[in-house]
Amino acid sequence: MSGRYAVILAGGRGERFWPLSRAAKPKQLLALVGDKPLIAQAVDRLEGLVPPERVLILTNADLVDATRAAAPGVPPANIIGEPVGRDTAPAVALATALVKARDPDATFAILTADHVMGDLPLFRQTLAAGMDAAESGNWLVTIGIKPHEPSTGFGYIEMGESAEPFSGIPFNRVARFVEKPDRATAERYLASGRYVWNSGMFIWSVRSIEAALRAHHPELGARIDEWARFAGAPEFAARLAESFAAVRKISIDYAVMEKADNILVAEGAFAWDDVGAWPALERHFPADSEGNIGIGDVAAVRSARNIVYSKGRLTALVGIEDAIVVQTDDVTLVCRRDHAQDIKALLARLREAGRSEVL
Amino acid sequence: MSGRYAVILAGGRGERFWPLSRAAKPKQLLALVGDKPLIAQAVDRLEGLVPPERVLILTNADLVDATRAAAPGVPPANIIGEPVGRDTAPAVALATALVKARDPDATFAILTADHVMGDLPLFRQTLAAGMDAAESGNWLVTIGIKPHEPSTGFGYIEMGESAEPFSGIPFNRVARFVEKPDRATAERYLASGRYVWNSGMFIWSVRSIEAALRAHHPELGARIDEWARFAGAPEFAARLAESFAAVRKISIDYAVMEKADNILVAEGAFAWDDVGAWPALERHFPADSEGNIGIGDVAAVRSARNIVYSKGRLTALVGIEDAIVVQTDDVTLVCRRDHAQDIKALLARLREAGRSEVL
């Protein structure tokens, strides 16, 4: 068996967790749930499956130092900065190049940094089965998430005919990848039992994904050997800066997954939460009898259904309902629960006002 | 003309401005409105009328140092601590003793520390007229406030027959002092035009108030000479601690004003606001087009009718209406505007929890 690697994609800005997340400290660097930053939890989840020296992390170039600090178990050289954000397909091509430079016979998983997971033994079993599947042929393997509600926030994968199981985990051929649906469509998907959420987790051999990129998005397929050649060299960052910026922004779903016909999907039945915005914390913390969730130092009277994140200072609520309150050293956010999506509008206003120190 | 003095009563705890006000820093020590603490503003208002060396301040014994710091224009020896709180009649008796020790022929005003006033020339004219009236005989003089709404939060004074004007200000005999009325009664008072709010401002000669106390509440009348004897002596605080604690708690309204028949009232037509709790700030600060009042660093989107006091940190509101947000170094209060009276319940809970560091 040749080497197994994992590449964690950890870019992104995470405005939806402002003011705790900032441009210089996005969501994956925060310990929103649990004691460690989400990126460190993503590394820890691989224990027994992929050792830290075979874990690579791709992040924004300006977040490399902070990511190294947040994931101290991973060798610093394994944490690589993308010079510019180009969505997931160029990131996958770069990941393929980096792994190929170490071991062209390797299989690797593409994982995400900003999810919270539970049932970790089952997660590891599923991921190991995906590795087995990827090593059994030229499959592109993905782990879909068994949906528990008709979410319109995820893309879906329609499962096709049954395939061979690996390590006790059933697999299906993929019938198709579909975009985020409207509510009615999502309800239909959920009722059918044939759809899973697109989690962004993929497993493939260097050979399989390189072939798929060359076939379906040659612009990126052609870059892999170029990037692999100078991987680890002193001039890597400078050379990458030139060529990475030149590629088009495109997701791996568009570039490959919606086109390829050699895809297997496992139905991930472990707990998986994208913790998309502040209201999602209610799924991870206990509430008091009035439905208030207090993380940190919180006192409340005649108040209900609030989510308060207040470490290092006291937040006192009187007669407040359905609010989110978030404290940081320099900022307090008070937001109606059903207006969390308007935090972006607030940040736009602060940007206009030149308030970069709080962004 | 003999000496004119002013004694500012500056006790009280001011829980209603928590968390800005604390046990060790009550309302009169805060610059809630304006650039200086309310107590300093009360001293400044007397400019041209009573010089700072003739201004005395009575406060709680444990607030003497903080009051001296907040009113640096007043000689430290003029700021006297009451060993225990005994309401206003004992405070008036003590004030009488302190002024008598300096000048038994003096006239003095009893003033409050925790009000915000406007139209200061008219205030000074009214106060000077009250001094003139008090010096013209044995009158007990008070300044009532012309009511602009049927408030149930103040006692009222019914004006009787017209008396001689002083310095262009009309005076009336007082028909009676009445307690805080219910709403219907307050509306009747307002409509009649014959009632003014009891402001707690009084002007009288040492001789007149001492005579009134001896006549109507001899327990306190008898203390005046005792306290005057050791006023200014090194043993003053120790001696006062013994005897002040021994007197009964009673207001000057009960002890004297509701019984005396030699009272004159001037109708104060200057702006006067007791700034009783956070919602009162709306009367002193401009609102934006959505009715938000931001004091300090505040950003708001889709939010209306909030009052935010945020000096030294950014408060960001998203989709929040009718809230009060108050920031201090260690605490954030978020309170519905119409629940400001429930701050007391919150403080009770914090006291139970042993949170004295935030009380």
Give tens-digit pLDDT for A141-161. Answer: 999 999 999 999 999 999 999
CATH number for A59: 3.90.550.10
Given a cut of 60, whether residue A120 has pLDDT beyond it is: yes
CA distance A73 to A52: 6
Given a cut of 90, whether residue A11 has pLDDT beyond it is: no
Cα B84 from chain centre = 18
Q: Mean pLDDT for chain B? A: 96
Minimal-distance CA residue of chain A relative to B19: A316
CA distance B346 to B359: 10
Phi and psi for A55 in degrees, rounded to 5? -100, 125
Residues A250 and A311 in one domain: no
Residues B125 and B201 in one domain: yes
Contacts of B288 in chain A (CB under 8 A): none
Q: Do A336 and B327 count as a contact with CB atoms less than 8 A apart?
A: no
Contacts of B301 in chain A (CB under 8 A): 342, 345-346, 349
Contacts of B322 in chain A (CB under 8 A): none
Host H or E run for residue B336 = strand B331-336
Task: Kindly report, residue by residue over B143-178, the tens digit of the pLDDT.
Answer: 999 999 999 999 999 999 999 999 999 999 999 999
Q: How many structural domains compose chain A? A: 2
How far is residue A148 from each of residues A115, A175, A188, B81, measured CA to CA in Å? 16, 21, 13, 67
Q: What is the pLDDT of residue B96?
A: 98
Mean predicted confidence (pLDDT) in B314-321:
98
Output the CA angle A115-A120-A121, nearest 5 degrees: 155
Q: What DSSP character marks residue B304?
A: B
Mean predicted confidence (pLDDT) in A24-39:
93
Query: Residue A226: beta bridge partners?
Result: none
Query: Residue B60: beta bridge partners?
Result: B82
Sort strands B307-318 and A4-9 into parallel, antiparallel or unpaired: unpaired
Residues B283 and B266 in one domain: no
Residues B267 and B304 in one domain: no
Q: What is the pLDDT of residue B8?
A: 98
Residues A305 and A266 in one domain: no
> Nearest to residue B300, comparing CAs of B275, B268, B325?
B325
Residue in B316, B335, B346 nearest the CB of A333? B316
Q: Do B339 and A327 count as a contact with CB atoms less than 8 A apart?
A: no
Last residue of a domain, one of B247, B273, B299: B273
Given a cut of 60, whether residue A50 has pLDDT beyond it is: yes
Place A69 in a pLDDT band, splitting at 50, 70 and 90.
very high
Task: Kindly report, residue by residue over B100-140, the tens digit of the pLDDT.
Answer: 999 999 999 999 998 999 999 999 999 999 999 999 999 99
Place A15 in a pLDDT band, splitting at 50, 70 and 90.
confident
The Cα of A290 is separated from the nearest Cα of chain B by a number of Å equal to 15
Last residue of a domain, one of B248, B273, B298: B273
Q: What is the pLDDT of residue A12?
A: 75
Residues A241 and A289 in one domain: no
Residue reference for tokens 């310095």: B167
Q: Do B301 and A349 count as a contact with CB atoms less than 8 A apart?
A: yes
Least confident of A1-10, A44-53, A335-344, B350-359: A1-10
Per the CB < 8 A criterion, the answer to whether A210 and A221 are in contact is yes
Q: What DSSP character marks residue B321?
A: B
Contacts of A342 in chain B (CB under 8 A): 301-302, 318-319
Minimal-distance CA residue of chain A relative to B310: A332
Using left for φ > 0, alpha for ψ between -120 and 50, and beta otherwise, residue A165 falls in: beta
Residues A193 and A113 in one domain: yes
Give burial (CB, 10 Å; 0-12/13-18/19+) of B182: exposed
Contacts of B343 in chain A (CB under 8 A): 318
The Cα of A339 is separated from the nearest Cα of chain B by a number of Å equal to 6
Q: What is the pLDDT of residue A347?
A: 96
> Nearest to residue A206, comparing CAs of A79, A108, A129?
A108
E strand residue ranges, A244-306: 263-268, 272-273, 293-301
Place B347 in a pLDDT band, splitting at 50, 70 and 90.
very high
What one-character-per-residue DSSP string does A14-64 give? -GGGTTTSBTTB-GGGS-SSSSS-HHHHHHHTTTTTS-GGGEEEEEEGGGH
Residues B42 and B149 in one domain: yes
Given a cut of 60, whether residue B1 has pLDDT beyond it is: no
Residue in A315, A318, A349 nearest the CB of B299? A349
Which residues neighbour A20 within 8 Å (Cβ) at sequence distance 6 or greater? A30, A32, A309, A326, A328
Residues A286 and A199 in one domain: no
Residues B46 and B183 in one domain: yes
Q: What is the pLDDT of residue B83?
A: 94
Two tokens, residue B324: 């009060």
pTM of the model: 0.89
Mean predicted confidence (pLDDT) in A276-292:
94
Given a cut of 60, whether residue B285 has pLDDT beyond it is: yes
Q: Which residues of B touch A (CB under 8 A)?
A: 19, 299, 301-302, 310, 313-320, 323, 325, 327, 330-336, 338-340, 342-343, 345-346, 349-350, 353, 355, 358
CA distance A188 to A213: 32
Q: Do A318 and B302 count as a contact with CB atoms less than 8 A apart?
A: no
Per the CB < 8 A criterion, the answer to whether A17 and A31 are in contact is no
Residue in A313, A318, A346 nearest the CB of B318? A346
Mean predicted confidence (pLDDT) in A261-287:
94
Output the CA angle A137-A252-A88, nearest 5 degrees: 125
Q: At what angle do helices A88-102 and A223-230 cross, to 10 degrees?
A: 50
What one-character-per-residue DSSP string does B95-111 give? HHHHHHHH-TT-EEEEE
Describe chain B by its helix, strand, coil percentages, rounded to 5.
40, 30, 35
Contacts of A350 in chain B (CB under 8 A): 299, 316
Minimal-distance CA residue of chain A relative to B340: A318
Terminal alpha carbon distance of chain B = 47
Given a cut of 80, whether residue A13 has pLDDT beyond it is: no
Q: What is the pLDDT of residue A79?
A: 97
Residues B230 and B320 in one domain: no
The Cα of A291 is separated from the nearest Cα of chain B by a number of Å equal to 17
Per the CB < 8 A criterion, the answer to whether A296 and A326 are in contact is no
> Nearest to residue A73, comparing CAs of A106, A41, A96, A105?
A41
The Cα of A332 is separated from the nearest Cα of chain B by a number of Å equal to 5
Peptide bond into A19 cis (omega under 30): yes
Per the CB < 8 A criterion, the answer to whether B248 and B219 are in contact is yes
Last residue of a domain, one of A218, A238, A273: A273
Say what percent of chain A tops pLDDT 70.
99
Given a cut of 70, whether residue B323 has pLDDT beyond it is: yes
Q: Is B47 helix (H, G, I), strand (E, B) or coil?
A: coil
Place B18 in a pLDDT band, splitting at 50, 70 and 90.
very high
Q: Do B334 and A317 count as a contact with CB atoms less than 8 A apart?
A: yes
Say what percent of chain B tops pLDDT 90.
94
Task: Kindly report, residue by residue over B223-279, the tens digit of the pLDDT.
Answer: 999 999 999 899 999 999 999 999 999 999 999 999 999 999 999 999 999 888 999
Domain that holds residue A336: 278-358
Residues A265 and A238 in one domain: yes
Say what percent of chain B tops pLDDT 70.
99
